[in-house]
Structure 1
Amino acid sequence: MKLKLCFLLLLCPVFWVHAQDKNTSVTSVAASADHRGISIGQQVPDVLIRNVSGLNGAGQNLAVLPLSAFKGKLVILDFWATWCSPCIAMIPKMEALQEEFKGRVQFLPVAYQSFKEVDAFYKKLQQQTGNAFSLPMVTADTTLVRLFPHQTLPHYVWIGGDGVVKAITDREAVSAENINSLLAVGSLELKVKKDEKMLYDTSKSLFFEGADFDNGIFRSQLSGYITNIGRGIYKDVEVEAGGPVRRITGRNLTIPELFRIAYKKGKKETVLEDGLSKAFEPGKLTGANFMDWLKQGRAYCYELMVNQQSSDRTYALMQDQLKGFFPDYLVGLEKRKVKVLALVRTSSKDKLRTSGGQPTVNLDGFGCKMTSCFLAVFIDRLKIPFQASPLPVIDQTGYTGMVDLELTANMSSIEQVNKALARYDLRFVEKPAEIEMLIIRKR
Structure 2
Amino acid sequence: MLSLCYGAIGKAQSTINRSLELKVGQSLPSLPVFPVLNYEKSEIALGSIKDKVLILDFFDTYCVNCIAAMPNLQQLQEEMEDKLQIVLVTWQDRETIEKFFASHPYVREHSIKLVTIYSDTLLRSYFPHQGIPHTAWLLNNKVQAVTFSDFVQRQNIEELYFKGKINLPLKSDFGTEDTLLGGSVPESGLITSLRITGYQDGAVWQGIKMEWDSLRNVGKVYFHNADIFGAYVAAWSKIKKPTFVLKAQRVVWKAKEHDRYRYLGKGGKNEWLLSNGISYHRTYSRKTELSELAEIMIGDLSNALGLRVYWSEKEIPCLVLKRLPKAKKELSSDEGELEGTSVLAFMIDYKDSFPPVVDEVNSDVRMKIEDFSTLENLNKQLKKYGMILEEELRKVEVLVFEDLE
TM-score by length of 1: 0.59
CA distance in 1 between partners of 2:302 and 2:106 (Å): 53
Q: Verify the 8 A CA contact 2:308 2:403 in the aligned structure 1.
A: yes
User: What RMSD over aligned residues (CA atoms) do the two structures have, in Å?
Assistant: 4.9
CA distance in 2 between partners of 1:72 and 1:251 (Å): 40
CA distance in 2 between partners of 1:321 and 1:150 (Å): 32
CA distance in 1 between partners of 2:114 and 2:276 (Å): 34
Quote how far apart the aligned CAs of 1:130 are: 3.5
1:256 to 227, 232, 236: 232
SS in 2 for 1:37: coil
CA distance in 2 between partners of 1:158 and 1:288 (Å): 16
User: Any unmatched runs of 5+ in structure 1?
Assistant: 1-9, 22-26, 201-220, 236-248, 307-313, 358-369, 409-413
Partner residue, 2:402: 441
Quote how far apart the aligned CAs of 1:92 are: 1.0
Quote how far apart the aligned CAs of 1:78 are: 0.9
Partner residue, 1:299: 280
CA distance in 2 between partners of 1:65 and 1:36 (Å): 21
Q: After the TM superposition, which residues 168-183 of structure 1 pair with which residues of structure 2 at under 5 Å, given as runs?
A: 168-183=146-161
Quote how far apart the aligned CAs of 1:155 are: 2.5
CA distance in 1 between partners of 2:283 and 2:205 (Å): 12
* Alignment size in residue pairs: 350
Partner residue, 1:211: none
SS in 2 for 1:380: helix
CA distance in 2 between partners of 1:291 and 1:428 (Å): 42
Q: Does 1:290 align with 2:273?
A: yes
Q: Is the helix fraction higher in 1 or 2?
A: 2
The residue type paired with residue 13 of structure 2 is H
CA distance in 2 between partners of 1:115 and 1:301 (Å): 47
- Residues 280, 300 of structure 1: alpha-carbon distance in 2 compared, 3 angstrom cutoff: farther
* Deviations, residues 133-167 of structure 1 (Å, cap 9, x unaligned): 2112123322112222345432222333x433344
1:270 to 251, 254, 258: 251
The residue type paired with residue 29 of structure 2 is P
Q: After the TM superposition, which residues 257-406 of structure 1 pair with which residues of structure 2 at under 5 Å, given as runs?
A: 257=233, 258-263=235-240, 264=242, 266=246, 268=248, 269-275=250-256, 277=258, 280-281=261-262, 286-287=269-270, 290=273, 293-295=276-278, 299=280, 330-338=308-316, 342=319, 356=334, 371-380=337-346, 386=352, 393-395=356-358, 398=361, 400-405=363-368
- Residues 290, 382 of structure 1: alpha-carbon distance in 2 compared, 3 angstrom cutoff: farther
Quote how far apart the aligned CAs of 1:90 are: 0.9
Q: Is the strand fraction higher in 1 or 2?
A: 1
1:52 to 36, 43, 57: 36
Q: Verify the 8 A CA contact 1:355 1:372 in the aligned structure 2.
A: no
CA distance in 1 between partners of 2:203 and 2:168 (Å): 23
Partner residue, 1:89: 68
CA distance in 2 between partners of 1:322 and 1:423 (Å): 46
Partner residue, 1:4: none
SS in 1 for 2:172: coil
- The percentage of counterpart residues that share the same residue type is 17
Partner residue, 1:39: 24
CA distance in 1 between partners of 2:341 and 2:107 (Å): 25
Partner residue, 2:216: none
CA distance in 2 between partners of 1:51 and 1:422 (Å): 51
- Residues 39, 233 of structure 1: alpha-carbon distance in 2 compared, 3 angstrom cutoff: closer
Quote how far apart the aligned CAs of 1:396 are: 5.7
Partner residue, 2:141: 163
User: Any unmatched runs of 5+ in structure 2?
Assistant: 178-191, 210-220
CA distance in 2 between partners of 1:165 and 1:147 (Å): 10
- Residues 176, 419 of structure 1: alpha-carbon distance in 2 compared, 3 angstrom cutoff: farther
SS in 2 for 1:299: strand
CA distance in 2 between partners of 1:20 and 1:67 (Å): 24
Q: Does 1:140 align with 2:119?
A: yes
CA distance in 1 between partners of 2:48 and 2:84 (Å): 13
- Residues 173, 127 of structure 1: alpha-carbon distance in 2 compared, 3 angstrom cutoff: closer
- Residues 282, 99 of structure 1: alpha-carbon distance in 2 compared, 3 angstrom cutoff: closer
Q: Verify the 8 A CA contact 1:74 1:105 in the aligned structure 2.
A: yes
* Deviations, residues 248-297 of structure 1 (Å, cap 9, x unaligned): x87446552313543436363333424363674467673276267545xx
- Residues 233, 177 of structure 1: alpha-carbon distance in 2 compared, 3 angstrom cutoff: closer
Quote how far apart the aligned CAs of 1:440 are: 3.5
Q: Verify the 8 A CA contact 1:19 1:146 in the aligned structure 2.
A: no
2:205 to 217, 221, 231: 231
